[in-house]
Each structure stands twice: as C-alpha cells, then as structure tokens.
C-alpha cells in the first residue's frame, strides 16, 4: 500500500470519526423526539417504529416551552444587536483615529475573551443582582454582551485595519462627513466580519446555560434552562426533552445556512489580518 493511499485512508477515517462524534448524537435526539416512551426504553434501539408528534405537542401545551422560546429569542436578538453595534463602532474608533494604545486595547479585549466564563460568574451575578435586574431578561442580555463583546471587537478590528485609509479619505474629500464615510464606505467592506460576529454571538446567546440559569426565574427561563428543567430528580422525560432540543436546534441551523458564505471569510479574515 502506497503512502498516498495511507494518507487517503487516514483522512477518511478522521472524517468518519468526526461525523460519528457530531452527527450521531444529533440524529439520536431527532429520532427519539418522534418515539414514544416504550420505543425509547428498549434494550436494542428500535430502527423501525411508529412515529408520533405527541412529544412536540406536549412540549408546547403541557409545559412553558413556548415562553422559553420567546425569552431566548428576545435575549439572543437584543444581546447580538448590542454586541454588533458596540463592537462595530469600538473597532472603527480604535483603528481609524490612530490611538496610541489601540493595539494594547485590542490585546486586552482578547485576554478578556480568554478568561473562563465561570470566573466571571460571581462578579456579573453580584452586579446584576445589586441593580435589581436578576429575574428579568435584561440580566442575561447584559451578561451575554459582556461575554461576547471582547472577541467581537478584536475580530472586527482586523477587518477595519485591512481597509486602505485612502478610501475613507477620498470619501471625505468628496464631501462626506466622517460618519457618512463610515456608513457608505467602511461599513459595507466589513459585512463578512459583522456576519461572523452575528452568528457567533447569536449562537452563544441561544445556547448559553450557566449565566441564564443564575440570572433568570421561572417566568424568564431561556430554552437551555427550560430544557434542563425537564430533567427531574427521579426520572427524565426523554421524548419531551428530545423534542424541545430538536426545536431549539432549528433556528441556528437555518441562520447558519443563510450566512454560511460569510462565516469562513469573516472568522479567518478577522483573525489573521492586522
């Protein structure tokens, strides 16, 4: 067997193992969401069974899953919007005004992202609780903004640095103000970076559990917290949990499908430029 054949076999082996690691758990969740309890708890997993939508119906009628979905949507949309706005203006300011310590600030933002989230749990909880926002949707929104903003600023700074300053100067010579040059010239160029920030921030906020668990109450549970509540002290309703998890995956899959052409360009471009 030639060396080239061994390399090919090794590549396919890695691909197959990766698919087994990622696709199989998701497939099991989706399949279990259509099974009855008697079909889930079997010694040998059933491949052929009579599908049912009872788990999906129960998720929306016998629990507050619909409320959790709305809460997660509000938190993800608000936190992502705030991150994009703040990160865009902050990264533009740090790169366009030639600040003396811009690089140090950028590195400081990156270091902030490297800090484990659990280490920030206590100070964020104390602050949110002190201002009376615990138990509201504002609490997890602010927490997610604090956690996503450093990386977003660092990522977008790479894009703004890569834009020739002559473009902005030419627009200002033609009569544009600095803000008009920003909106008409600079912003369209960094759309791939903004798209990457959008999907990364939205995905994090949509799936985040730790901060949402500590900062919300029963009326403000997000989807991850709500699904975790389906796990009882004695038993677990696997059908209901699987249906809820399947519905939870759908929005991010759809969003990722539509913005996938920007994700690779955005993450790699912002990471290596500047």
Per-residue pLDDT tens digits for 96-145? 877 777 777 777 777 777 788 888 888 999 999 999 999 999 999 999 99
Asked if pLDDT for residue 274 goes beyond 50, the answer is no
Are 72 and 213 in contact by the 8 Å Cβ rule? The answer is no
User: Would you list the DSSP string of 32-60?
Assistant: HHTS-HHHHS-SS--SS-----HHHHHHH
Residue 20, token pair as written in the block: 């087994």
Quick one: what percent of the chain has pLDDT higher than 90? 29
214 falls within a domain: yes
Are 152 and 83 a contacting pair, CB within 8 Å?
Answer: yes
pTM exceeds cut of 0.75 = yes
Which residue reads 């400081």 in tokens? Answer: 108
Q: Which two tokens stand for residue 132?
A: 């009376």
- Angle, helices 138-162 vs 238-272, to 10°: value is 30
Cβ contact 158:95 at 8 Å: no
Residue 196 in any domain: the answer is: yes
Inside any domain, residue 118? yes
CATH number at residue 128: 1.10.3720.10
Contact 72, 64 (CB under 8 A): no
Q: How far is CA 18 from CA 12, 15, 24, 242, 245, in A?
A: 10, 5, 10, 22, 21
For residues 17-26, average pLDDT: 87
Q: What is the mean pLDDT of the chain?
A: 85
Give the confidence band of 270 by pLDDT, cuts at 50, 70, 90. very low
Q: Count other Cβ atoms within 10 Å, centred on residue 165.
A: 11
Q: Which of 33-47, 196-210, 216-230 has the lowest mean pLDDT?
A: 33-47
Residue 251 lies in a domain: yes
pLDDT band at residue 264 using 50, 70 and 90 as cut-offs:
low
Question: Is 32 part of a structural domain of the chain?
Answer: no
Question: Does residue 91 surpass a pLDDT of 50?
Answer: yes
Structural domain contains residue 218? yes
**Residue 273 scores a pLDDT above 50:** no
- Are 229 and 221 in contact by the 8 Å Cβ rule? The answer is yes
Q: What's the pLDDT band for 271 if we cut at 50, 70, 90?
A: very low
Provide DSSP, 174-229: TT--HHHHIIIIIHHHTHHHHHHHHHHHHHHHHH--HHHHHH--GGG--HHHHHHT
Is the pLDDT at 172 greater than 70, yes or no? yes
Quick check: 1 pLDDT over 70? no
Structure confidence at residue 262 (pLDDT): 66
Using DSSP, state whether 235 is helix, strand or coil: coil
Inside any domain, residue 53: no
DSSP secondary structure code for residue 245 in this structure: H
Please state the rounded mean pLDDT for residues 249-264. 79
Predicted confidence band of residue 188 (pLDDT cuts 50, 70, 90)? confident
In the chain, the number of structural domains is: 1
**pLDDT score recorded for residue 51:** 86
Asked if residue 25 is part of any domain, the answer here is no
Sign of CA dihedral 32, 35, 36, 39: negative
Give the whole-angstrom CA distance, residue 79 versus residue 66. Answer: 20
Rounded CA-CA distance 146/150 in Å is 7
User: Tens digits of per-residue pLDDT, 2-15?
Assistant: 778 888 888 899 99
State the residue range of the domain holding 246: 63-272
- Alpha carbon of residue 158 to chain centroid: 20
Report pLDDT digits (tens) over 28-85: 889 888 988 888 877 777 778 888 888 899 888 888 888 999 999 999 999 999 999 9
């Amino acid at each position: 067997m030639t060396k080239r054949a061994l390399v090919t076999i090794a590549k396919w082996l890695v691909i197959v193992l990766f698919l087994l690691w990622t696709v199989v758990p998701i497939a099991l969740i989706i399949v279990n969401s259509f099974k009855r309890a008697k079909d889930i708890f079997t010694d040998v997993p059933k491949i052929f069974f009579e599908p049912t939508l009872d788990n999906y119906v129960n998720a929306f009628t016998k629990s507050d899953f619909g409320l959790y979905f709305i809460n997660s949507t509000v938190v993800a949309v608000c936190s992502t919007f705030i991150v994009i706005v703040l990160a865009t203006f902050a990264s533009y300011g740090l790169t366009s005004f030639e600040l003396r310590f811009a690089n140090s600030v950028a590195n400081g933002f990156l270091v902030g992202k490297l800090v484990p989230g659990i280490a920030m749990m206590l100070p964020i909880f104390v602050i949110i609780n002190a201002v009376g926002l615990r138990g509201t949707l504002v609490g997890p929104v602010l927490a997610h903004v604090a956690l996503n903003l450093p990386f977003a600023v660092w990522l977008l700074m790479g894009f703004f640095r890569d834009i020739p300053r002559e473009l902005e100067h030419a627009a200002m010579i033609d009569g544009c103000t600095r803000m008009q040059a920003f909106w008409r010239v600079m912003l369209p160029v960094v759309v791939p970076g903004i798209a990457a920030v959008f999907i990364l921030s939205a995905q994090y906020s949509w799936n985040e559990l730790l901060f949402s668990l500590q900062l919300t109450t029963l009326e403000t549970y997000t989807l991850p917290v709500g699904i975790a509540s389906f796990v009882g002290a004695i038993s677990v309703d696997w059908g209901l949990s699987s249906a809820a998890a399947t519905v939870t995956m759908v929005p991010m899959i759809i969003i990722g499908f539509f913005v996938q052409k920007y994700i690779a360009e955005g993450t790699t471009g912002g990471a290596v430029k500047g």
